[in-house]
Amino acid sequence: MSPQVRLANEIAVQFRHQPPDAAAAAIAAHIRTFWEPRMRAELMRWVEIEPESLDPLAREAARLLRG
């Protein structure tokens, strides 16, 4: 599994206690704050090629990151 997918899924599970919209926003904010751009780009690539590998909340966060 791609490290970025694994990391994004691990972040996502920490925010499951929140309402989905808030959780996705929090995950996106976390990734924006701490991830280097090429990591974010790699995450976006996986969203495109294998979206099912991502937690739904992580997928939604990626959508928010893409803007």
| Angle subtended at Cα 64 by Cα 35 and Cα 20, rounded to the nearest 5 degrees | 105
Which of 5-13, 45-53, 54-62 is the region at the interface with another protein (rule: CB under 8 A)? Answer: 5-13
Residue type, 10: E
The answer to whether residue 38 forms part of the interface with another protein (CB under 8 A) is yes
Q: Dig out the tokens for 30 from the structure.
A: 């976390």
Nearest CA among 42, 48, 10, 44 for reference residue 27: 10
- Binding residue (CB under 8 A) for another protein from 20, 29, 34, 63: 34
Task: Compute the least distance from the CB of residue 14 to another protein, in Å.
Answer: 5
Interface with another protein by CB under 8 A: which residues? 3, 7, 10-11, 13-14, 16-17, 30, 33-39
